Structure 1
Amino acid sequence: DRVDAALSSGILTQGPQVARFEELARPWTGRDTAAVASGSAALEIALRIIGVAGRTVLVPVNTYFATAAAAVRAGAAVRFVDIELDGLGLDPDALSAALDRHPDTAAVLPVHIGGIVSPALDPALAQCHLRGIPVVEDAAHAFGATLDGRPAGSFGRLGAFSFFPTKVAMSGEGGLLSAASADDLEQVRRWRDHGKSAQGSTLHDRPGGNWRLSELHAAVGTVDLERFAATLAARRALAARYDALLADVPGIRPHAVPAAAGSNYYKYLAYLDPDGPLDRPLLKKLLRERHGVSLAGEVYDHLLCDHPQFAAERRQDAADGPFERARWFARHHVALPLYPSLTENEQIRVVAALRSELP
C-alpha cells in the first residue's frame, strides 16, 4: 500500500517515505539519521565528509570488500589491521601499531562483524580520540546491536548502515548514516543529491553523487522498521536455542558473544574443531546433499589483503601482516541458518545434521 501511495503521489525520491524511514531508524541508532542509496554509499559519503583523499584509512583485514573500496573511491590509501577473537573487532594493540606506522591516518573504520559490537571498540576509540583521528563505524551488520546498552552507530563521528536484503532490517536496497552533528547530517544530504548547495537548489558546491534512497525502497523499509523489535527478539531467541542445542555436539562450538555486547545475530557463528577431519567446504557439501541444510555465507572467507584489488597495498607494507587471528577466524568459522521464521523443528534438524556429520 505504501509503494502504491508513493507511485500515486508522483514523489519518487526524498519525500515523506524517506523522512519516515529516517524517523523510525533513530531509536535504533541513538542519533539522527540521513538515508542514502546503500551501505556502500553511506561509507563513501562519510569518508568524503571527513576528507580522506591522499591519506590513509585503516580498516580491519576481515570485513566485506565494500568497506575498503569506499575508502579507495574517496581517494584514500587503505591499510589493514588484525582483529581480536572475542568480539571480532579491531585488535587494540594491532591498531596502535598501525597508527604508529601510518601517521597520515585520516580515519579508522571499525566493523561490527556478525552483528556484534566488540568491547574492544572502547580502547580503539580512546586511541583515535587521543590522536584526533575520526572514527566511522561500519555498522552494516549491526542495526539494533548494542554495547553496554549503547546502540551501534552511536560511537563514532558517523555510523554507516546497510539495508540490503540479507540484513536484519531491509529496504531492498538502501543505507543510512547516523551522526551526532547536525552539520554532518546536512553534509550527507548535500553529498547524496549531486552536491547541491541546498535541497531544491540548482547550485552545486561539491562533486556529490546520485546516492538518494527512493521512496519505493523507503516504503519497504518503513514496514520492516515498524516490526523490527519483534524481529530482533526472534533472532535473539533463536540464537539462545542454538546455544542450548549445540551444547553437547562434538566438533563444533558456538561463538561466545561478550557479555557487554547485545548482538542482533545477523550471523549465528560457530567454530569447527581445527583438528577435526572435516573442513568447512566438505561439511557444507555434506549438509546440503545429505540433509538439505544450507549454511549461511561466511563473514568472511577471504581477508581483504588477499583480494587482487589490494595486492599492491600488501606488497607496500608487509609489516601490517600476517593477520594471524583474522586468518584463524576466516578459516574455521561457520554460520548456521538463522532468520525470524525459522522454526524450532528446523533448528533441531540443523543440529541433528551437524551431529551426524561431525566426529
Structure 2
Amino acid sequence: MTTTGSLPGESDLVQVLDRDGSVRDDATVPDLSEEQLVEMYEQMKFARHLDERAVTLHRQGRIGTYPPLAGQEAAQVASTHALADDDWISYQYREHGAAGVRGMSYEYLLYWMGYEEGNGHLADDYIFPMNISIGSQLPHATGMAWASKLKGDDNVVMCHFGEGSTSEGDFHEGLNFAGVYDVPAIFFCNNNQYAISIGRENQTASATIAQKAHAYGFEGKRVDGMDPLAVYAVTKEAAEKARDPNAEPPEDIGRAGRPSLIEAVMYRLGAHTTVDDPDAYREEEEVERWREFDPITRYETFLRDRDLIDDEQIESIEEEVGDEVAAMIDEAEAAEPDPMAMFDRPYETPTPRVQEQKEYLADLRERHGDDALTRDE
C-alpha cells in the first residue's frame, strides 16, 4: 500500500509522497480516479482559502473567535473521502475541511458569527455538531458506533480530536469501551504538535499516540497527516475493517478487530485560535521547517507530475473557490436570526432565571419591536 518515511523529528510514518511531492520508492498510489484526485485538491484549496478569509473576518470584527486549520487540510479532506457518504463524522472544532467535503453552505459561518443554527444543519450531512469541550465527543462517538453495530447497519463513525484530548479521561473511556464492544469506529487523532501552547512531549510519555490503541485491544497506525494520499489509504483500510463484522483482531494485541486509532502527524501552521499568539511558545524556525511539508504544495506537485492540473486550471480553481467563499460570507452576513433562539437549547426545561430573562426580552419586543433586541440599553 505505502512505505514509511519521516517528517521533522518523526519516523515510522505511513507515507506515499516525499517532501517535494514525488511518489516515494515502493509506495503505491491509492486507487482513485483522476476526477477524485483533482477534487481533493480543489477541496483542500477551498479549505485553505476559507481559513484565510475567516481569520481576516475575525480581525475585522465580523465573526467570533475562530480556529485556523492551515497545515491540516490533507488529513481532513482525504480522510473524509475514504468514508461512505452516510458514515458519521464527529469532530472537534478545527475540521472545517471535513465539513467542506460534505457540502458546506453559508450556515457553517453562522456558527462562528454566534448563531447556534449554524451548528445544527451539519447533521443533514452526517456530521455530528462540533464539540468545543476537549475530548468529550469521544465517548459519544463510541456510543454512536455501538448503536450502529446493534442495529446491524453498515455505518462507520469517525471521531476527530487533537493530541491534547489524549490527556482527558474521555479519551480513555471512549477507546476502552470501543475495544470492549468491538465497535465500528475510527478514532482520528490530528496530532498537530501543540495543544494550544503545550507541546506533544508534555502531553504523554508514550513514544507515539498510536500505540495507546494497544492498551484497549485494537490497532493504532501513524500516518503523515500532510500527505493526502497516505491519509486516504490508511483511513480507507480502517473503514473497511470497521465495516467488517468478522474483522480479525490484531495479532498479539487483543480480541477487538473493528476499531482503529489513526495518529495523523502534522503541524498547525497558524495560531491555535485567532486570539492566540503562537510566537510566545514556538520558534519561527520550527514553523518554517514544517512548512516544507505544506500539504497543498506537495499534492499540487504530485498532480502536476501526472499532468492532472496546470497553471491555467489552478488559476480557475482559485477563482472559483474565491467566488464560492465570498458568496457564503455575503449570505451569512445577510441572515437575520431570531435573538429569542438563544433560549431554545441551553436547557431542556429553562431555569427560573432563564425563563425570567426570556419573558423580559419577549415583553421588550412586544412593546418596542425587534429593534429593541439589538439596542444597547
TM-score, normalised with respect to structure 2? 0.33
- The structure carrying a bigger helix percent of its residues is 2
TM-score normalised by L of structure 1: 0.35
- Larger Rg over CA atoms: 2
